[in-house]
Amino acid sequence: MPLPAVALDHVELVRVAMPLVRPFRTSFGTQTARDVLLVHVRDADGTDGWGECATTAAPVYDADFTDGAALVLADHLVPAVLAAGTARGVDDVRARLAGYRGHHAARAALEAAVWDLQLRAAGRSLADHLGVARDRVPAGVSVGIPTDPDGAADVDALVAQVGGYLEESYLRVKVKIEPGFDLAAVRGLRAAFGSDLRLQVDANTAYSPDDPAHIAVLDELDSTGLEMIEQPFGADRLRSHAEHAARWRTPVCLDESITDRSRATDAVDDGACAIVNIKIGRVGGLTEAIAVHDRCRARSVPVWCGGMLETGIGRGVNVALAGLPGFTLPGDTSASSRYFAEDLTEPFLLEDGHVAIPRTAGASPPPDPGRLAAWTTDRTSLR
């Protein structure tokens, strides 16, 4: 059923400060809080829509970063959508943004807000709109590199953290690795939790295919029973991924490399990966994310939903997307408590290793007005 047309009347950028419950260290840096950028849209009837921008503060994960996203939204993307008559919905918004390059997280946030608005106007949940049959998705947890008081990577702390998450019932564990914190971490986890632990590693591009020492470590990791190794090399190095994927028994999963549907099919068809991590922000929006899913499914390539430490606003969309049938692996769709003492929305809860898919009208649950007001650091109206 098509979504009803709306009359996009008002767009606002809202910045919200959200401390993380524990620092999150990856091969590209440490995050202790999220400076969240939200896109808020309203139609002529006063119906609201919200979208979350999945960026980091600095351009260290990919080229996007939060201040850059706010700028491109304010100066380019939102004016393009508000100009030339009223935008009527997601398809209209996508058509008006078609001439703009890059800035995937920013355009994804704007598109998500318009999805949310249209779904609210229709009184329909995103999961219902997408025809999602299941009522919950299996949840994995992504664990950063823990450091001891001197700042050194700490395997014992990692084992303790993972033990806590397993007690909470998370179904699979993804650990961040980097040169110098890889084999010992995986061996420590295997020693503590055995070979049944569903374990995967994420390098966030930290290894060089041109460095024999890096390749030697990755070759050793290949015999530790991992579910997958995620993005060992740089985003552009599809050929290097394909060369090593052909030798390893561990499936290669790509994240940073997969920027849209054609990159996904190129990577899969060229043997660069056997699994795809889908992130809505990285591919430039929910419509594109669904297309990546569809193309991978047509090739029998399993996908899972990645995370960017989203609040409930981004998480709701992720969890509904992860209900599609090609999402056959647990995603980084953890409960709110893994990230925040209190979420912006009603919290997402972990039950028996799963998170329930929202079925209330909209793309995600709305922000709580009191918490939103208390934690907002900036609002810019773009009318």
Instruction: Point out the residues that are catalytic.
Output: 176, 279
Phi, psi of 107 (to 5 degrees): -70, -30
Q: Binding residues for ligand NPG, how many (CB under 6 A)?
A: 13
Q: Which residues touch 75 (CB under 8 Å, ≥6 apart)?
A: none
Q: How far is the CB of 315 from ligand NPG (least distance, A)?
A: 8
265 forms part of the interface with ligand NPG (CB under 6 A) = no
Name which of 323 and 331 has its Cβ closer to ligand NPG: 331
H/E segment holding residue 158: helix 155-168
Q: Which region among 129-137, 302-310, 359-367, 373-381 touches ligand NPG (by CB under 6 A)?
A: 302-310
Name which of 6 and 335 has its Cβ closer to ligand NPG: 335
H/E segment holding residue 96: helix 90-97
Q: How far is the CB of 334 from ligand NPG (least distance, A)?
A: 5
Question: Which of 37, 42, 61, 105 is the binder for ligand NPG (CB under 6 A)?
Answer: 61
H/E segment holding residue 174: strand 172-176
Name which of 204 and 250 has its Cβ closer to ligand NPG: 204
332 forms part of the interface with ligand NPG (CB under 6 A) = yes
Name which of 28 and 193 has its Cβ closer to ligand NPG: 28
**Vertex 40 angle, CA 78 and 129, to 5°:** 100
Residues facing residue 355 across a β-bridge: 137
Q: How far is CA 57 from CA 35, 90, 185, 203, in A?
A: 7, 27, 27, 20
288 forms part of the interface with ligand NPG (CB under 6 A) = no
365 forms part of the interface with ligand NPG (CB under 6 A) = no
CA distance 348 to 338: 10
142 forms part of the interface with ligand NPG (CB under 6 A) = yes
309 forms part of the interface with ligand NPG (CB under 6 A) = yes
233 forms part of the interface with ligand NPG (CB under 6 A) = no
Name which of 161 and 334 has its Cβ closer to ligand NPG: 334
Q: Is 130 helix (H, G, I), strand (E, B) or coil?
A: helix
Q: Is 125 helix (H, G, I), strand (E, B) or coil?
A: strand
Name the burial class of residue 45, with classes exposed (0-12), middle (13-18) and buried (19+) by CB atoms within 10 angstroms of its CB.
exposed
Q: Footprint of ligand NPG on residues 64-123 (CB under 6 A)?
A: none
Q: Which residues bind ligand NPG (CB under 6 A)?
A: 26, 56, 61, 142, 202, 204, 255, 306-309, 332, 334
